[in-house]
Chains A and B, each alone.
Chain A
Amino acid sequence: MKRQMVTIDGNEAAAYVAHKLNEVIAIYPITPSSNMGEWADEWSSQGRKNLWGTVPSVTEMQSEGGAAGAVHGALQTGALSTTFTASQGLLLMIPNMFKIAGELTSTVFHVSARALAHNALSIFGDHSDVMSTRAAGWGMLASNSVQEVMDFALISQAATLEARVPFIHFFDGFRTSHEVQKIEQLTDEDLRALISDDLVQAHRLRGLTPDNPVMRGTAQNPDVYFQGRESCNPYYDACPDIVQKAMDAFAKVVGRSYKLFDYVGSPTAERVIIIMGSGAEAAQEALEYLNAKGANLGLLKVHLFRPFSVKHFLGALPATVKSIAVLDRTKEPGALGEPLYMDVLSALSEGLMEGTAPVKTMPRVIGGRYGLSSKEFTPAMVKAVFDELGKPKPKNHFTIGIIDDVTNSSLTYDANFSTEPDDVFRGMFYGLGADGTVGANKNSIKIIGEDTDFYAQGYFVYDSKKSGSTTTSHLRFGPRPIRSTYLITTAKFIACHQWFFLEKFDVLKAALPGSTFLLNSMYGPDEVWQHLPRHIQEQLISKKIKFYVIDAYKVGTATGMGGRVNTIMQTCFFAISGVLPKDVAIESIKKSIKKTYGKKGDQIVQQNYQAVDATIANLHEVKVPATASSTITMPPVVPNTAPEFIKSVTAQIIAGFGDDLPVSKMPVDGTFPTGTTQWEKRNIALEIPVWDPVTCIQCNKCAMVCPHAAIRTKVYDAALLPKAPATFKGVDYKGPEYKGMKYTVQVAPEDCTGCELCVDVCPAKNKSEVRLKAINMAAQPPIRETEHANFNFFLGLPEADRTTVKVDSVKGAQFLQPLFEFSGACSGCGETPYVKLVSQLFGDRTIVANATGCSSIYGGNLPTTPWSKNKDGRGPAWSNSLFEDNAEFGLGMRLTVDKHQVMAQELLQGLAAQVGDDLAKGILEAKQTDEAGIKAQRDRVAVLKQKLAGITTPEAKSLTTLADTLVKRSIWIIGGDGWAYDIGFGGLDHVLASGKNVNILVLDTEVYSNTGGQMSKSTPRSAVAKFAAGGKPLAKKDLGRIAMTYGGVYVAQVAMGQNDLQTIRAFLEADAYDGPAIIIAYSHCIAHGIDMGRGMVNQKAAVESGHWPLYRFNPLTLAEGKNPLKLDSKPPKMRFDEYAYMETRYKMLTKSNPEEAKRLMAIADEDAKARWKWFEEAAREWETGAKTGSN
């Protein structure tokens, strides 16, 4: 049977084989492996069968630890079972991995290898995770390319069944897991040829059964444990040969031949690089290039890292080798060297000692690190390593790809060295996430991969923002399989899908002489030139670039495509790149449109067809003049007034030059300044709100809901107004509390994302033209500069006096300075308004423990952080530990604060006489129950510190460092539902039971948002999510009710869009409560499939349908003999389905499976009714005198 060529990424390749060869799959989402689980789940839900004709069961667990446990159980009962994971997820599996290996159990875990979190998390690829599992006793097989991923997924499965050693099959996260390649898909016959049914059945028969009961997992004593540990040796000894046997069998069936250690290059090479993973592909490309030019080099590509076979390793080395560089894609601080290096050294030493080595004398071996967190690894770097090997004293323990100016470990390399062959087409496409560029490029690759004989490769780079994010697509097509596992730096075709990129990036930097440039331009071929920045003009001329423009927005508007210019730009690409004949290309595009959109209705298909047809007529070549005339230059990334760190580090990262930053510029322990988003003016909103003071009723609701703190309000002395810029608006404050003062609503024009939430919640309407509100959207560019000046003036106005602001009101709270601003969250995010509120109410005395997830990414992903500080330099201090331990992490912070407070009090008592008894008494007895009380304490502590400065005792010195803890501090533990309901629930539960004064904010989007919408236990019944493609069959977990069972926990459920005042009260009460408090906040989300600008309307509906009752459970009222539960929302006004069908997550099931949608919705409706009934009953007022537990 002829094998099909498919154009897929590494994750799909692994999942394809894993789904065919397993019966039970347990999964948990983690980047970059999530897609493997999603593929498996989708295929199973579509009824796709495995090799033995049954549909594998796919189960999402609460954590990777849970997934490993479930797989362990499945294996122990005889199923073929697998999971997919990466990074910290793999670390959570380690305890079970020891067990699984110890029990000699056949399984393969497929791992898209990813960096581990140290002082910073990274989602990108390296081998830190898999290397951390070395001791567990698993086989470790590395795939270097997408084709190898498919091949080794099979080979590892065949090997594990025979060897009984479990396997990690790993490949590089993103570089391989997300790289799209044209590969040969294995057939069922191939799989059958490699997988022995006898071995499968033997595995099954080893499973636990009451029909033949045994026990496995005993506890052993010093007498036998050791011997037991050694009993597995023969299996490990035999394993390498078994893997090679599987590789040989594979070669016989499929034709591709692999070795445990694949040697390529000259058989007489003296210099050899040893490497594994995707870097081996770039290394091979470099080696072949250099050898073709006369070099005599070798490359040893490691596939089977564990069990490490000295025999096979030595057998693969050329006898001529004199120097070896071992490249590790991981870092083990304090180790003698990284793992592969250490193994190579040991293997060579053993070989020389035993006389089995091909060499007579020990070659010079150096180890080096490369490619951490998907750092580029290019042929230029490979060449530098080979060059280093040629030196008399090559540098050991080197790094390559960075500039290490601290310990000078790095090798220098010539970045201009390129091995890219001429017959490979290379194109780069700059787009916005929102314009569909990546999707179109994925389609283009498929078209070229499937409709031509060309090999194709696509790799996509995204920035770290969730709104207005930019994407760069790197596409290669060529006559041979493509080994270029690095980004394109010399391109034959460059497309810029957004005009404003011209002033943001040097989009033509990679353009080769004679290349083609396609620009989406609102200016036609005759007028575009004068609008181009100078650096673009100059490169167009000097590189003799063929230049084309299209007004894709015009074509998009005319054909109903709107801002999604993907199809139009794709058509242009095919029309001018010459990759395919134009007519063939257009036919292929239409075929791919039908395939992509067909299931969403013919209308979409037709619309795209129209866009294709309308494109060619609007595509124009531009005649490039002989001289550059432009005076437009790229503006500075940050203003000159920015702090030094921002200019020298942050701005470099923003500008895309982070790769050039040397080691010395990086904080050694991961400590970064806060308040940095203010320097990153992103200007992503096409329209921004404009305030109409006449219509405004000064309610401050706009500021309350703004997810980006980009619309703010202030009251200030009227005398300040005359100094304002001419267009600055200020009016008399309405209301008695600030009589005679002025009031302003001001927009941060360059930070606003244009979501329109503020306009949507604005309750005021213009009396003469009701379509207008007190804030209305207007085009940003014409008012950008004036509003920028106005915003700067606004920032200079004094902040409200916290001691007099009425914080328990929407209006008052919004006069408090937000210390969480301009985050990279989605435009219209439903989480950030709550986070911002915490920062306003308590920010100057808060430490935040942030679970990994959306909030840690928009809160802490470089280059900038939205967490900021006030004029006194106070603000939230923030840290992220892990995904699973956030509650415990926050509790630890509380324990410190409490301990330090006690220590400070103890010291102060001892020093009372010296600092003054009154001051000491004042501090020790201070009531810090409101802002005024806190301010007074802060003032007293300031006096105390002054006094302590004059005392030289160790106690005084110690108290100086502890004195600030005498001011009330809040701990806010923040995370999403994936953390609180699932992976972190055990810890959360324990912290709730601790009695300690922590505040837990659960940003409940009812789905794993950050990893792309997987089901959590918070997902409501009948909603569609990943891993619940058929609608979630079970009801949502009620975290609030669970928390209430403790009795001593403050619990609130809030939804700002329905009752903003109740939200504020809950936050204040939670913070005031001297014990654990948890707030569960309904957060509308992009993963709900809603109009984000109307998210507050969805919040309102969630409450009014009874789905999300608002309540506060305050244990303090229990002490008064009253029911602690107060219901803050009214009986449902609408049916659950009326709310639910406002959202795509529910509605899509009515389109994909109407009968099931109906069935689930009926039950979900009952859920909502029952929930409401329970709360109504539970919140009933107690009869006077009733006590808890009595009657």
Chain B
Amino acid sequence: MDLSTSYLGLKLKNPLVPSASPLSRTLDGIKRMEDAGAAAIVMYSLFEEQIHHEAAELEHYLSYGTQSFAEALSYFPETGEYNLGPDEYIEHIRKAKEAVDIPIIGSLNGISTGGWIQYAKKIQDAGANALELNVYYIPTDPKLSGAAVEQRYLDVLKAVKSTVTIPVAMKLSPFFSSMAHMAAQLDQAGADGLVMFNRFYQPDLDIEGLEVVPNVTLSTSQAIRLPLRWVAVLYGRVKASLAATSGVHSAQDVVKLLMAGADVTQICSSLLLHGPGRIGEILQELDRWLLEHEYTSVKQMRGSMSQKSVADPSAFERANYMKALNRFK
């Protein structure tokens, strides 16, 4: 069975790519994902805040209280170079590249066009095959227009594209007024791929401690509906590769997203739940499913149920809403 696909111009042996997750924090985790059959790995994200704050924090605490009191002009020994978060990350990518044969996709997470963008180049120099740009942005300022938010995405993308030569994928939020238009703009601005979608952590309230608590929940297969629609809509309308992420737990999920038009599916929650070995199981299931349904390759089914390819394109649109409601009557 030919499971191969192509994503961001990279030839991949199958459409299963672990998305940015803690599993890629260790070389062991990366190797285990490769061994389980991952076609490529998106590394955990290097955050803009980390680049800014880690250095600032270290500087703050190492210098806090110094040069103030005659007996204790400092509180820590001077050591040589500090290997700060960003440097560790770059080094980790370099080691990951040495350790595995599959493509490594770096991941940068930030929202401004500031100094952190230079790390895109460093990620490239460390050997990453591609870069995933994650603009994880919750616009909460009532004065900020939708257009300004869109422009921010475009600016970040352009800034990064101008510093690297490796392909750049843009990981998106689903919260745009005109998702398709946004995708088209990014496509025109040079995005080599669109990754749909970011799962935003939704805060929860602790009503005993009276605190807002981050509440990380893992996805279920239910979650593929959102990327499914937009992959299906965008398939054939943009040059960029399409990656679907959120809710990929089974071979059936993979099949659906491929049929909708995804080049690859990104998987995370399932691996966190079951371990990297789950990749192998899904690939086996996928292989079996394709065989049973007499497909010869993944390419064959890709986009076969995109909006363009289905009998009723409105099924992905408002009209479909009426249909769905009618079912409950």
Q: Which residues of A contact B (CB under 8 A)?
A: 31-32, 34-35, 38, 41-42, 45-46, 123, 174, 178, 432-434, 436-439, 442, 460, 462, 464-466, 469, 471, 560, 564, 597, 599-604, 606-607, 765, 770, 826, 857, 1009-1013, 1024-1029, 1086-1087, 1089-1090, 1144-1145, 1147-1148, 1151-1154
**Seed contacts A564-B63, A1151-B58; 16 additional CB < 8 Å A-B pairs:** A38-B77, A42-B77, A436-B67, A601-B55, A601-B58, A601-B82, A603-B56, A606-B115, A770-B211, A1010-B71, A1011-B72, A1013-B74, A1013-B76, A1144-B62, A1147-B58, A1152-B79
**How many Å lie between the Cα of A178 and that of B56 in the bound state?**
28
Interchain CB contact (< 8 A) of B70 among A123, A434, A1090:
A123
A432, A466, A603 — most chain B CB neighbours (10 Å): A603
Interface residues of B in 50-75 (CB under 8 A from A): 51-52, 54-56, 58-59, 61-75
A189 to chain B, nearest CB (A): 27
Residues of A within 8 A of B66 (CB): 433, 439
Question: Separation in Å of the B53 CB from the closest CB of chain A?
Answer: 9
Contact partner of B83 (CB less than 8 A), chosen from A1027, A1090, A1154, is A1154
B88 within 8 A of A: yes
Whether A1148 lies near B62 (C-beta < 8 A) is yes
- In the complex, B203 has a CB within 8 A of chain A: no
Q: Indicate if the CB atoms of A603 and B71 lie closer than 8 Å.
A: no
Tell me if A600 and B77 are in contact (CB < 8 A).
Answer: no
Question: Could you tell me if A1012 and B75 are in contact, using CB atoms closer than 8 angstroms?
Answer: yes
With A and B bound together, what is the CA distance between A35 and B71 in angstroms? 10
Decide if B78 touches A1089 in the complex (CB within 8 Å): no
Contact B58 A602 (CB under 8 A): no
Q: B80: CB under 8 A from chain A?
A: yes
Chain B residue contacts of A857, Cβ below 8 A: 71
By the criterion CB–CB under 8 Å, are B71 and A31 in contact? yes
- CB contact between B51 and one of A460, A560, A603, A1028 (< 8 Å): that residue: A603
Nearest B residue to A560 via CB reads B56
Contact A469 B69 (CB under 8 A): yes
> Do A601 and B75 form a contact, CB below 8 Å, given A433-B69, A471-B67?
no
Q: Are A599 and B71 in contact (CB under 8 A)?
A: no
Bound Cα distance A1025, B211 (Å): 36
Complex Cα–Cα for A606 and B117 (A): 14
Chain A residues whose C-beta falls within 8 Å of the C-beta of B88 in the assembled complex? 1154
- Whole-angstrom distance between the Cβ of B61 and the nearest chain A Cβ: 4
* B292 CB to nearest chain A CB (Å): 47
B294 within 8 A of A: no
Question: Which residues of chain A are near B56, meaning CB under 8 Å?
Answer: 560, 603-604, 607
Judging by beta carbons under 8 Å apart, are B76 and A466 in contact? no
Contacts of A1144 in B (CB 8 A): 58, 61-62, 76
Known: A466-B69, A601-B84. A1089 touches B77 (CB 8 A): no
Bound form: Cα–Cα A1152–B54 in Å: 13
Cβ of B210 under 8 Å from chain A: yes
A439 to B84, CA, bound (A): 23
Q: Is B83 in contact with A1151, judged by CB distance below 8 angstroms?
A: yes
Interface pair B77/A1090, CB less than 8 Å apart? no
Residues in B with CB closer than 8 Å to A442 are 67
Alpha-carbon gap, A41 to B61, bound state (A): 22
CB distance from A1018 to the nearest CB of B (A): 16
Query: What is the bound-complex CA distance between A460 and B62, given in angstroms?
Result: 20
Q: Which 7 A-B pairs have the closest CB atoms?
A: A433-B68, A601-B55, A1012-B72, A1089-B61, A438-B67, A1029-B77, A1013-B75
Which chain B residues border A1148 with CB–CB below 8 Å?
Answer: 58, 62, 76, 79, 82
Name the distance in Å between B117's Cβ and chain A's nearest Cβ. 13
Kindly state whether residue B81 has any CB partner on chain A within 8 Å.
yes
Question: Looking at the complex, which one of A464, A1029, A1090 makes contact with B61 (CB distance below 8 Å)?
Answer: A1090
Residues of B within 8 A of A1087 (CB): 72, 75-76
**In the bound complex, what is the Cα–Cα distance between A1024 and B77 (angstroms)?**
8
B309 to chain A, nearest CB (A): 49
**Residues of chain A lying within 8 A (CB to CB) of residue B210:** 765, 770
List the A side residues contacting B61 at CB < 8 Å.
Answer: 1089-1090, 1144
Find B115's partner among A439, A597, A602 (CB 8 Å cutoff): A602
Contact yes or no, A1086 B70, CB < 8 A? no
Can you identify 13 A-B contacts, CB atoms within 8 angstroms?
Answer: A38-B77, A45-B77, A433-B66, A439-B67, A464-B69, A601-B55, A604-B55, A606-B115, A1027-B77, A1029-B77, A1086-B64, A1151-B84, A1154-B88
Q: Are B83 and A1009 in contact (CB under 8 A)?
A: no
List residues of chain B with CB under 8 Å of any chain A CB. Answer: 51-52, 54-56, 58-59, 61-84, 86, 88, 115, 210-211
CA distance A600 to B56 in the complex (A): 8
A600 close to B67 (CB less than 8 A)? no
Residues of A close to B62: CB separation below 8 A: 600, 1089, 1144, 1148
Nearest residue (CB) in B for A1147 is: B58
Residues on B with C-beta less than 8 A from A1153 are 79
Contact of A469 with B68 in the complex, beta carbons under 8 Å: yes
Given contacts A174-B70, A606-B115, contact A599 B76 (CB under 8 A): no
Question: Which of A46, A432, A600, A1012 contacts B55 (CB under 8 A)?
Answer: A600
Instruction: Give chain A residues whose Cβ lies under 8 Å from the Cβ of B72.
Output: 1009-1013, 1087
Is A41 a contact partner of B77 (Cβ separation < 8 A)? yes
Bound Cα distance from A751 to B148, whole angstroms? 48
How many angstroms between the C-alpha atoms of A606 and B86 in the bound complex?
Answer: 15
Q: Closest Cβ of chain A: how far from B70's Cβ, in Å?
A: 4
CA distance A462 to B66 in the complex (A): 11
A1145 to B69, CA, bound (A): 20
Of B65, B70, B74, which contacts A826 at CB under 8 A?
A: B65
Given A770-B210, A857-B71, decide whether A603 and B52 contact each other with a Cβ distance below 8 A: yes
The reply to whether B68 and A434 contact each other, CB–CB distance below 8 Å, is yes
In the complex, what distance in Å separates the CA atom of A1145 from the CA atom of B84?
15
| A1089 with B76, Cβ < 8 A, contacts A31-B71, A770-B210, A857-B71 known | yes
- In the complex, what distance in Å separates the CA atom of A184 from the CA atom of B83? 33
Bound-state Cα–Cα, A1090 to B58, Å:
10
| Given A599-B80, A600-B58: A433 in contact with B71 (beta carbons within 8 A) | no
Chain A: minimal CB distance from B209 (Å): 9
Measured in the bound complex, the distance between the Cα atoms of B51 and A1059 in whole Å is 37
Q: Which residues of B contact A602 (CB under 8 A)?
A: 55, 115
Which residue on B lies nearest to A1149, using beta carbons? B79
A449 to B169: give the CA distance in the assembly, Å.
Answer: 51
- The CA-CA distance from A604 to B78 in the complex, in Å, is 17
Q: Closest residue to A826 on the B side, CB-wise?
A: B65
A1027 to B82, CA, bound (A): 18
Q: Which residues of B contact A34 (CB under 8 A)?
A: 71
Of B68, B73, B83, the residue contacting A1152 (CB under 8 A) is B83
Chain A residues, CB < 8 A from B211: 770
Minimal Cβ-Cβ distance residue in A for B118: A602
CB distance from A668 to the nearest CB of B (A): 27
Q: Nearest chain-B residue to A1085 (Cβ)? A: B75
Q: How far is the CA of A32 from the CA of B88 in the complex (A)?
A: 38
Name the contact of B81 in the complex, choosing from A462, A599, A826 (C-beta under 8 A).
A599
- Which residue of the partner chain A has the closest CB to B210? A770
Interchain CA distance A1011-B74 in the complex, whole Å: 9
Contact across chains for A604 and B71 when beta carbons are under 8 A apart: no
Q: How far is the CA of A466 from the CA of B72 in the complex (A)?
A: 9
Most buried by B among A560, A599, A765, A1151: A1151
Q: Kindly provide the distance from the CB of A311 to the nearest chain B CB, expressed in whole angstroms.
A: 41
Residues of A close to B78: CB separation below 8 A: 42, 1029
| Chain A residues closer than 8 Å to B79, beta-carbon distance | 42, 45, 1024, 1029, 1148, 1152-1153
Verify B65–A433 contact, CB threshold 8 A.
Answer: yes
Contact of B63 among A436, A464, A1024 (CB under 8 A): A436
| Chain B minimum-CB-distance residue to A174 | B70
Q: Report Cα–Cα, A1127/B84, bound state, in Å.
A: 40
Residues of chain B with a CB closer than 8 A to A1147's CB: 58
Q: Which residue of chain A has the shortest Cβ distance to B53 in the bound complex?
A: A603
In the complex, which of the residues A34, A123, A1089 has the most CB atoms of chain B within 10 Å of its own CB atom? A1089
Contact pick for B68, options A174, A471, A1013, A1089, CB 8 Å: A471
Q: Measured between alpha carbons, how far is A1133 from B303 in the docked complex, in Å? A: 50
